[in-house]
């Protein structure tokens, strides 16, 4: 084996290693959000108890609540809980900005380091400034036009809606206080889960973005990039399909960045909980097969020589990529504002006169 194919192998091993470090980091950071939600839970339930004691418990059993009466209590509850929600949001925004920004740097710096170690040549580290990165992550470049901070805000606003609903059910006596308190706690738990999912997904995006910036900076030694999907049974159909596709037809280095936005079903992250990452193809190497960590049907770790997800699936007895794609709900790969038409777009991005243009593609991942 020549040193050059060894280099590609080392590159991929380094990516595995630094992605596992990032995963641990993500898990640790997400836990830091928990106390803020715990505090909200405590306050929300305490205010609910106050409202229940002051208004609901005092009424005699024959009391029929009027709409006006119920509305007044709902409003009173909201005036108490909205400052708590604003506080939660105020805690989450700077936290999210700093971890997402840090993850872009992480992606860019580890990629530069990996390139240097694997290719054994001097590389250029992208000159990313904090304000530049903040500009990129604050600017919506996704079709829904929402930034991560809008998504967090929305997830917090949903708590207000749910709290209002719960109070209504309590005061109109559709629900007992103890059930209402449980329901409210459960909904805040769900909001924590939703919030952590947003941050996790954005960190996957940030890492992929940082990787792309580093690769673009070192275009002289990098030929293209492909999606590396996890070889286990949880990998989504389109991630598996795009991994196999992009290994055959690698993407441009700037693909899936604000300069050259990715296509639906072919972006990182592709969906919440996406664990994919970009792997560079070092110039003159092509993709050489190497052993890759994978999980068998009993979720036991093993090493496979499978060159594609499809081959791996066959090896462990999972459905083929084609069957996975056919059984999948394609809508989960769309972002707000996108239609099925966008997902079916069979196009390829080519560089022409220094510009990226979109041209029809003969290849169909559904085939």
Q: Is 208 an interacting residue with respect to Zn ion (CB under 5 A)? A: no
**In this structure, which long-range contacts are made by residues 137-140, counting pairs with CB atoms below 8 Å and at least 24 apart in sequence?**
137/97, 137/100, 137/101, 137/104, 137/202, 137/206, 139/258
Q: How far is the CB of 123 from Zn ion (least distance, A)?
A: 27
Residue 217, both tokens: 């900076």
- Residue-wise DSSP of 38-104: HHHHHHHHHHHHHHIIIIITTS-TT----HHHHHHHHHHHHHHHHHHHHHHHHHHHHHHHHHHHHHH
Binding window for Zn ion (CB under 5 A); candidates: 183-191, 232-240, 259-267, 293-301:
232-240
Q: How far is the CB of 19 from Zn ion (least distance, A)?
A: 12
Spatial separation of the C-alpha atoms in residues 296 and 303, rounded to whole Å: 9
Number of H helices, E strands in the chain: 10, 6
Nearer to Zn ion, 170 or 229 (CB): 229
How many chain residues are in contact with Zn ion, going by CB under 5 A?
4
Q: Is 241 an interacting residue with respect to Zn ion (CB under 5 A)? A: no
Q: Is 198 an interacting residue with respect to Zn ion (CB under 5 A)? A: no
Q: Does residue 149 have a cis peptide bond before it, meaning omega lies within 30 degrees of 0?
A: no
Nearer to Zn ion, 114 or 274 (CB): 274
Binding window for Zn ion (CB under 5 A); candidates: 87-95, 147-155, 269-277, 340-348:
269-277
Nearer to Zn ion, 183 or 242 (CB): 242
Q: How far is the CB of 22 from Zn ion (least distance, A)?
A: 15
Q: Is 207 an interacting residue with respect to Zn ion (CB under 5 A)? A: no
Spatial separation of the C-alpha atoms in residues 341 and 349, rounded to whole Å: 17
Candidates 123, 237, 239, 253: give the one binding Zn ion (CB under 5 A).
239
Q: How far is the CB of 104 from Zn ion (least distance, A)?
A: 19
Q: Is 253 an interacting residue with respect to Zn ion (CB under 5 A)? A: no
Q: Is 40 an interacting residue with respect to Zn ion (CB under 5 A)? A: no
Footprint (CB under 5 A) of Zn ion, residues 270-289? 270, 274, 276
Q: How far is the CB of 234 from Zn ion (least distance, A)?
A: 10
Residue 138 Cα distances to 98, 117, 142, 148, 150, angstroms? 12, 32, 11, 7, 10
Nearer to Zn ion, 108 or 276 (CB): 276
SS3 238: helix
Footprint (CB under 5 A) of Zn ion, residues 125-154? none
Which residues contact residue 324 at a Cβ distance below 8 angstroms, ignoring those fewer than 6 apart? 236, 237, 240, 241, 313
Nearer to Zn ion, 187 or 275 (CB): 275
Residue 327's Cβ-count burial label (10 Å; 0-12, 13-18, 19+) is: exposed
Q: How far is the CB of 229 from Zn ion (least distance, A)?
A: 6
Binding window for Zn ion (CB under 5 A); candidates: 24-32, 33-41, 156-164, 268-276:
268-276
Q: How far is the CB of 312 from Zn ion (least distance, A)?
A: 15
Spatial separation of the C-alpha atoms in residues 146 and 338, rounded to whole Å: 13
Q: Tell me which residues touch Zn ion (CB under 5 A).
A: 239, 270, 274, 276
């Amino acid at each position: 084996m020549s040193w050059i194919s060894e280099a590609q192998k080392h590159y991929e091993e380094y990516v595995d290693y630094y992605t596992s470090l990032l995963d641990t980091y993500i898990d640790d950071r997400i836990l830091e959000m928990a106390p803020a939600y715990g505090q909200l839970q405590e306050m929300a339930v305490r205010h609910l108890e106050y409202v229940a004691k002051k208004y609901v418990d005092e009424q005699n059993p024959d009391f029929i609540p009027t709409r006006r009466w119920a509305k007044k209590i709902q409003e009173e509850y909201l005036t108490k809980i909205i400052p708590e929600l604003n506080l939660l949001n105020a805690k989450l925004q700077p936290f999210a900005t700093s971890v997402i920004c840090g993850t872009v740097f992480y992606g860019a710096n580890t990629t530069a380091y990996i390139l240097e170690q694997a290719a054994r040549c001097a590389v250029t580290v992208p000159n990313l400034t904090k304000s530049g990165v903040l500009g990129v992550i604050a600017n919506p470049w996704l079709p829904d036009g929402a930034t991560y901070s809008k998504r967090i805000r929305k997830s917090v606003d949903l708590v207000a809606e749910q709290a209002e609903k719960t109070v209504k059910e309590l005061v109109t006596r559709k629900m007992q206080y103890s059930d209402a308190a449980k329901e409210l706690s459960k909904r805040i738990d769900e909001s924590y889960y939703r919030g952590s999912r947003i941050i996790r997904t954005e960190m996957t995006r940030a890492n992929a973005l940082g990787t792309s910036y580093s690769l673009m900076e070192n275009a002289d030694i990098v030929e293209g990039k492909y999606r590396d999907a996890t070889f286990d049974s949880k990998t989504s159909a389109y991630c598996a399909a795009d991994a196999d596709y992009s290994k055959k037809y690698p993407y441009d280095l700037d693909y899936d960045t604000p300069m050259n936005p990715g296509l639906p079903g072919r972006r990182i992250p592709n969906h919440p909980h996406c664990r994919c990452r970009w792997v560079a193809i070092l110039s003159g190497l092509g993709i050489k097969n190497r052993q890759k960590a994978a999980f068998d049907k009993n979720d036991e770790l093993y090493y496979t020589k499978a060159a594609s997800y499809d081959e791996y699936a066959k090896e462990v007895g999972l459905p083929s990529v084609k069957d996975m794609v056919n059984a999948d709900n394609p809508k989960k790969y769309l972002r707000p504002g996108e239609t099925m038409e966008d997902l079916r777009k069979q196009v390829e991005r080519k560089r022409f006169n220094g510009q990226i243009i979109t041209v029809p593609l003969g290849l169909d991942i559904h085939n």
